[in-house]
Amino acid sequence: MAICLTQEQIEQIYQHGCVSYPFECCGIILGSINCETSESEKIAVELIPTENVWNAENAVIFGENEENSPRRRYAIAPQVMLNVQKNARDRSLDIIGIYHSHPDYPAIPSEFDRRYAWSGYSYIIVAITNSDVNFYQSPMKICRQSNQKIVHSSSLLPTPYSLFSREESGVFPHTIDIHSWCLDDNQQFQSEQIIIGG
Ligand SMILES: [Zn+2]
Ligand 1 centroid, distance to 145 Cα (angstroms): 28
Domain that holds residue 91: 2-130+172-197
- Residue 7's SS3 state is helix
Ligand 1 centroid, distance to 26 Cα (angstroms): 9
- Name the DSSP letter for residue 106: -
Q: Is residue 52 part of a domain?
A: yes
- Could you tell me the CATH number of the domain that includes residue 193? 3.40.140.10
Ligand 1 centroid, distance to 86 Cα (angstroms): 25
pLDDT of residue 38: 65
- Mean pLDDT in consecutive groups of 10 residues from the start of the chain, 198 residues: 94 95 95 78 96 76 66 90 96 97 94 93 94 48 35 36 38 88 96 89
Q: Tell me how many domains the chain contains.
A: 1
Q: Beta partners for 123?
A: 98, 181
CB neighbours of residue 139 within 10 Å: 10
Please name which of 178, 77, 54, 62 lies closest in space to residue 123, comparing C-alpha atoms: 178
Q: Beta partners for 41?
A: 2, 34
Ligand 1 centroid, distance to 39 Cα (angstroms): 26
Ligand 1 centroid, distance to 130 Cα (angstroms): 18
Q: Is residue 113 part of a domain?
A: yes
pLDDT of residue 197: 84
Residues in the chain: 198
